Amino acid sequence: MPETAAPSPQTGHRLIQSYLKTLDNSPGVYRMLDAQSRVLYVGKARSLKKRVANYAKPTGHSGRIARMIRETTSMMFLTTRTETEALLLEQNLIKQLKPRYNVLLRDDKSFPNILVSGEHDFPQIKKHRGAKKEKGSYFGPFASAGAVNRTLNQLQKVFLLRNCSDAMFQSRTRPCLLYQIKRCSAPCVGHISAEDYALTVRDATRFLRGDSTDIQARLAADMTTASEAMEFERAAALRDRIRALTNVQSSQGINPRGVAEADVIALHMEGGQACVQVFFIRAHQNWGNRDFYPRVGVDIDAPEVLEAFLGQFYDTKDPPRQLLLSHPIDNLDLMEDALAQKLGRKVEILVPQRGEKAELVDGALRNARESLARKMSESATQTKLLAGLAEAFGLDAPPKRVEVYDNSHIQGTNAVGGMIVAGPDGFLKSQYRKFNIKDDRITPGDDFGMMKEVLTRRFQRLLKEDPDRKSDAWPDLLLIDGGAGQVSAVAQIMGELGVTDVPFIGVAKGIDRDAGKEEFHRPGARPTALRHNDPVLYFIQRLRDEAHRFAIGAHRAKRSKAVSATPLDDVPGVGATRKRALLLHFGSAKAVARADLSDLSAVEGISDTIAETIYDFFHDRD
C-alpha cells in the first residue's frame, strides 16, 4: 500500500486540485493536514481521484467542509487493494489520530462478559473483561459490570456454580458461606459429583444461550416429585431456584421473541450534538444498554455519524449476527463486508420499518433522545461552572481541561498518585491516570516528594509527546490537594520543567478541615476563600472528592495485589500459568518451597529445567 505526500505552498481547493494529476482511480485513504501538519480529516474513497476532485471545487460545500478545505495545506494518500480494506484502515487512523473534522467516538471501553471456565473438572462462573485468552465459554457483551453482577447473582441461586478461584477451590477443607446460603453446591469438598456438576454447567450455558424452557420444566417436575416424596426441604430449594430463574428473565427488561442476537443502535441529533444508544440483545434477552456521545458538528448528517460510529465501535469488538439501525448508512454493503471479514461469518445490517424489530429500534431511539436532553442540560451547567471557576480565580478563559491531583498511601506504603480530568462534558474518565510511586529515595509519607514525581512524569511525557501543544492533552488548570507548601513545591517543579504558563491552585481543607471552609492558594498571593453557598465551591469539592476517590481506589488495588503476591512471583521462568499449576498441585507457595525436585517435575507444565530453577530459588543454590 504505497503512501504519497506532496506539500505545496498553496492552500485550500487550489492546493487540492494540484494533487489530481498524481492520483488514479485506486481505492484508498486520504488525510488532510493543516499548516502545523496536524491531521484535519481522514477519509476513504472507492476512487481517490474522484473523491479528491470533489474537494477541489471552489463552491458547493457545507460550512464544515469549506472550513476544512480552507485550512488544508497538504494531503497524504494511501492506496489499498479494495474499498473494504480502505474502510478498515480509515477507522484505524481515525481512532489513532483523532482528526478535528471527523466524527469521533470518544468513549470506547470494553464490555464485560460472563465466562464459564473450561480448564477444570468443576468449571467456575465469573465476570470477564478484556481479551478472551482464557479457555471456556463466553457470553456477552453486557452493558455494564452491574448488569453482569446481577445476572451472576441470580445464576448462582439457580445453578449453584462456584465462583471461587482455582487456588481457593483446591485449598478448601470445608464448605464456604456460599454453600450455607444456597449459592454454591460445594464441589470443593465433594458435596456434588463431577457428573452432576457437569449437568448444571450444561444447563447454565444453555440458559445463557437462550434455551431455558426445558430447564424450568425439569426443575418444576423435580419439585413436584420431591413434594410427593415428602422431601419438602429439597422441594423448597427447587422452588427457590425456579423463582431465581424467573427473576433473571424478568430483570432483562425487553425480551424479544423474534430476535435472538442483535445490537440495536439508534441515533438522535440535536443542536450540533449526538447520542447513540446501543442495546445488546443476546439469547432473546436484553443484556443492557449503553449511550455514547460522538463528537459531531452542526452540518453532519445522520448516515455519516452512524457509519463512523459502526466502524470505530466494532474496531475492537466482535459484532453480532445482526445490527438494527435507526437510520440507513451510505455504504451498507461495504460495512457488512468489513464486519463479516472481521467476524468470519455473515453480518446483516437492517433498518426495520415495522414489527418487533422496529419496536426495538423505537425504544432505543427514545432512550437516545432522552439521554441527549439530559446530557445537554448537564453540559450547560458544567459550562457555567467552568466560567465561574475562571472568574473566581482570574483565569484568562474558562478552562477546557482541568486536571486534579491527589496521593494515597498508608504510612508511605503502596503509594499511588491519582490524576482525574474534567471539562465541559463532565468527568473524562478515559483520561484518568494513576502513578505508582517508584522513587525509592522518597521518605515514606513525603507528600511533596510524591507530588514532585507525579507531576514530573506527567509533564515530561507531555513535553516529549506533544512539545508544540497541538493536542488537547495539555491542561488549562491544575488543582492540587494541599496548601501553601504544596503550591510552593509545585511552582518549583513546573519551573524546573519549563512549564510556566499552566495555572495551578492548591485546595486546602481550611479551618477545622471542614468542607465549605476550604482555602485556595496560588503562587505569590494570599489565601482566598469562596462563599459557603457558592456553586463554584461545590464544584471544586466534587472535583477534589473524585480525585480522592480515584487515588484511594488505585491504592487499594495496589495494596490488594501486594497482599495476594507470593514468592513464586519472583521465580525466573514462572509466569501466571505455571504459578497456577504449582498452587493447584501443592496448595500453597510454602508447600512449593518445601517440595523436592521430583515432586516439582511431576507438576503439569513444569519441565526438569524449570523444576531445578524453582528448587534452586528456594534453597539458595547457585
* Residue whose entry in the numeric block shows the C-alpha cell 489565601: 527
Whether residue 344 is contained in a domain is answered as yes
CA-CA distances (angstroms) from residue 240 to 123, 125, 183, 207, 447? 23, 20, 11, 17, 53
Q: What is the mean pLDDT of the chain?
A: 84
Whether residue 391 is contained in a domain is answered as no
CB atoms within 10 A of CB 110: 12
Q: What burial class does residue 185 get, using C-beta atoms within 10 Å of its C-beta: 0-12 exposed, 13-18 middle, 19+ buried?
A: buried
Q: How far apart are CA 307 and CA 483, in angstroms?
A: 50
Give, in degrees to the nearest 5, the angle at Cα 502 between 500 and 506.
105
Q: What burial class does residue 56 get, using C-beta atoms within 10 Å of its C-beta: 0-12 exposed, 13-18 middle, 19+ buried?
A: middle
Q: Is the pLDDT of residue 622 over 50?
A: no
Q: How far apart are CA 22 and CA 574, in angstroms?
A: 56
Strand partners for 348: 322
For 264-304, the pLDDT digits (tens) are 999 999 888 899 999 998 878 888 888 999 988 777 889 99
For 493-532, the pLDDT digits (tens) are 999 989 888 999 999 876 655 556 788 999 888 888 888 8
Q: The domain spanning residue 42 has which CATH number?
A: 3.40.1440.10
Which of 89-103, 487-501, 568-582 is predicted least confidently? 568-582
For 391-436, the pLDDT digits (tens) are 999 999 999 999 999 888 655 566 788 899 999 888 888 889 988 8
Q: What burial class does residue 491 get, using C-beta atoms within 10 Å of its C-beta: 0-12 exposed, 13-18 middle, 19+ buried?
A: middle
Q: How far apart are CA 123 and CA 164, in angstroms?
A: 10
Which of 97, 125, 142 is the last residue before a domain boundary? Answer: 97
The verdict on 319 and 362 lying in the same domain is: yes
Cβ neighbours for 281, distance < 8 A, ≥ 6 positions apart? 254, 256, 259, 260, 261, 262, 263, 264, 287, 320, 360
Q: Look at 4 and 393; give whichever has higher pLDDT.
A: 393
How many Cα atoms occupy the beta-carbon half-sphere of 581 within 13 Å?
16
Domain containing residue 47:
3-97
Q: Look at 30 and 524; give whichever has higher pLDDT.
A: 30
Q: What is the DSSP letter of 115?
A: E
The verdict on 533 and 426 lying in the same domain is: yes
Percentage above 70 pLDDT, the chain? 89
Whats the size of the chain, residue-wise? 622
Q: Is the pLDDT of residue 237 over 50?
A: yes
The verdict on 135 and 221 lying in the same domain is: yes
Whether residue 104 is contained in a domain is answered as no
Helix (H) or strand (E) holding 40: strand 39-45
What's the mean pLDDT in 166-170?
A: 85
Q: How far apart are CA 350 and CA 542, in angstroms?
A: 43
Q: pLDDT at position 252, please?
A: 47
Whether residue 173 is contained in a domain is answered as yes
What's the mean pLDDT in 58-63?
A: 86
Q: Is the pLDDT of residue 176 over 60?
A: yes
Q: pLDDT at position 183, please?
A: 86
What's the mean pLDDT in 171-199?
A: 88
Whether residue 351 is contained in a domain is answered as yes
CB atoms within 10 A of CB 502: 15
Phi and psi angles of residue 302, each rounded to the nearest 5 degrees, phi first: -60, -45
What is the number of domains present in the chain?
5
The verdict on 139 and 20 lying in the same domain is: no
Q: How far apart are CA 386 and CA 546, in angstroms?
A: 16
Tally: H helices and E strands in the chain: 20, 19
Q: pLDDT at position 300, please?
A: 87
Q: How far apart are CA 565 and CA 582, in angstroms?
A: 14
Q: Is the pLDDT of residue 253 over 50?
A: no
Q: How far apart are CA 300 and CA 103, in angstroms?
A: 9
Which of 562, 577, 596 is the last residue before a domain boundary? Answer: 562
Q: The domain spanning residue 595 has which CATH number?
A: 1.10.150.20
Whether residue 384 is contained in a domain is answered as no
Per-residue cell: 70: 480552507
The verdict on 465 and 516 lying in the same domain is: yes
The answer to whether the beta carbons of residues 506 and 484 sit under 8 Å apart is yes
- The SS3 assignment for 58 reads coil
Q: Is the pLDDT of residue 353 over 90?
A: yes
The verdict on 139 and 246 lying in the same domain is: yes
- The SS3 assignment for 386 reads helix
Q: Look at 384 and 376; give whichever has higher pLDDT.
A: 384
The verdict on 554 and 407 lying in the same domain is: yes
Q: The domain spanning residue 303 has which CATH number?
A: 3.30.420.340
Whether residue 256 is contained in a domain is answered as no
Amino acid at position 65, single letter: I
The verdict on 571 and 552 lying in the same domain is: no
User: Can you give the pTM of this predicted structure?
Assistant: 0.69
Q: With CA atoms as reference, report the closest residue to 540 among 375, 378, 388, 377.
A: 388
Cβ neighbours for 130, distance < 8 A, ≥ 6 positions apart? 110
Which of 201, 227, 251 is the last residue before a domain boundary? Answer: 251
The verdict on 426 and 299 lying in the same domain is: no
Q: pLDDT at position 222, please?
A: 78
Q: pLDDT at position 288, please?
A: 83
Q: Is the pLDDT of residue 352 over 90?
A: yes
Whether residue 219 is contained in a domain is answered as yes
The verdict on 215 and 360 lying in the same domain is: no
Q: Is the pLDDT of residue 201 over 80?
A: yes
Q: How far apart are CA 119 and CA 114, in angstroms?
A: 16
The verdict on 203 and 155 lying in the same domain is: yes
The verdict on 144 and 282 lying in the same domain is: no
